[in-house]
Amino acid sequence: MHIFIINPTAGKGQGQKVVEEFLTSHPQLKKRCKTFHTKYTGHATSLAEQIAAMHHERVKQLIVVGGDGTFYEVLNGLKDYPKIPLAFVPVGSGNDLARGWKTSLNPKRHLNILFSRIKGKPYWFGTYRTDLLAKNKLKLFASTIGFGFDAEITERVNASRFKRLLNKLHLTFLIYVIGILATLYTFQTKNFEAKIDGETYQFEDVWLITLSNHPYFGGGMKIAPNAKNNQQHFSITVVHNISKLKLLLVFLSIFIGKHTNFKEVETFTGSRIEINSEKELSYQADGVTGRCYRCLIEKENHSRVVKRK
């Protein structure tokens, strides 16, 4: 059985139509496919949990039709079901995961590929637990987890009343530009400690620290240009001790992956990273935001099968 979980509100709201048209033009597949639609934030997690509990042995692929946030929700519903093959049809506004997986950003074309020639490949997801408290459950992420500036931009963009309107007008980039400029004005840097594979670093005046499973974040910015998904490590980017004006230059150069030439940008690799801060930090995991003082980030201890090139 092929399962679709569709977020009808992601991006320009085209997910449902894309799947309906695909199944209408492939009537032979209809009997083997089941579609589910999300109705509210967090619904994709409970849907995925229920589907996996009832049908995990029969699921050939679980296809997420939405944005990175929907994929994150589904992934977290499948925590206990690592054997279910995952696929992603990008209809969101950022679509960084699709870029990282080298998936076609054309949803119709990608659907055809998913049902014909594409095979499953192993992918190593990340895990994180905030404040290291038992009540804060371990969560999974597919693309990046970031602390600081990027997380505050994401909070602002997600809260914006104009996000859907600008998506529909093909002006998604504008909401990010507004988000960057507004956050640049209000942001306060923080000091924190990062333990990377047992080695302790003290970072001062930090704008952001981002851990990546693939190069992209923020809707196509190459934050970790050399990142390759593997079992051994995340690619880590730290931006600190930099003036606001220069930070703007760094941000522009992220689009072409040249920011790592700035001396204020440090890069590391590591598989077990602990972040500690005296002040509360904003974080974003695949665009889903939260606040914490501490966070432990590790690779999941097994790979999962994802259908990508």
Per-residue burial over 3-30, b if 16 or more Cβ lie within 10 Å, else e, is: bbbbbbbbbeebbbebbeebbeeeeeee
Binding-site ranges for ligand ATP (CB under 6 A): 7-11, 38-41, 43, 66-70, 73, 92-95, 287
Residues 6+ apart with CB under 8 A from 34: 1, 2, 3, 4
Residues 6+ apart with CB under 8 A from 245: none
Q: How far is the CB of 44 from ligand ATP (least distance, A)?
A: 6
Q: How far is the CB of 92 from ligand ATP (least distance, A)?
A: 2
Q: 94 with 284: CB under 8 angstroms? A: no
3-state DSSP assignment of residue 47: helix
Q: How far is the CB of 89 from ligand ATP (least distance, A)?
A: 11
Q: How far is the CB of 35 from ligand ATP (least distance, A)?
A: 14
Q: Please give the Cα distance from 234 to 212 (Å, whole number).
A: 5
Q: Please give the Cα distance from 149 to 141 (Å, whole number).
A: 19
| Closer residue to ligand ATP in complex, CB, 162/197 | 162
Q: How far is the CB of 9 from ligand ATP (least distance, A)?
A: 4
Q: How far is the CB of 144 from ligand ATP (least distance, A)?
A: 12
| Closer residue to ligand ATP in complex, CB, 270/287 | 287
| Closer residue to ligand ATP in complex, CB, 93/130 | 93
Q: 175 with 153: CB under 8 angstroms? A: no
Q: Which of 265, 286, 287 is nearest to 140 (CA)?
A: 286
| Longest distance between any two alpha carbons in the chain, whole Å | 60
| Closer residue to ligand ATP in complex, CB, 7/235 | 7
| Closer residue to ligand ATP in complex, CB, 92/270 | 92
Q: How far is the CB of 218 from ligand ATP (least distance, A)?
A: 9
Per-residue burial over 69-78, b if 16 or more Cβ lie within 10 Å, else e, is: bbbbbbbbbb
| Closer residue to ligand ATP in complex, CB, 130/143 | 143
The token pair at 290 is: 């939260």
Query: What's the chain's Rg over C-alpha atoms?
Result: 19
Q: Please give the Cα distance from 236 to 297 (Å, whole number).
A: 11
Q: Please give the Cα distance from 155 to 145 (Å, whole number).
A: 13
| Closer residue to ligand ATP in complex, CB, 277/282 | 282
Q: Which of 126, 146, 149, 144 is nearest to 275 (CA)?
A: 146
Q: How far is the CB of 284 from ligand ATP (least distance, A)?
A: 10
Please report how many Cα atoms fall inside a 13 Å half-sphere around the Cα of residue 251, on the Cβ side. Answer: 21
| Closer residue to ligand ATP in complex, CB, 66/107 | 66
Q: How far is the CB of 83 from ligand ATP (least distance, A)?
A: 24
| Closer residue to ligand ATP in complex, CB, 2/43 | 43
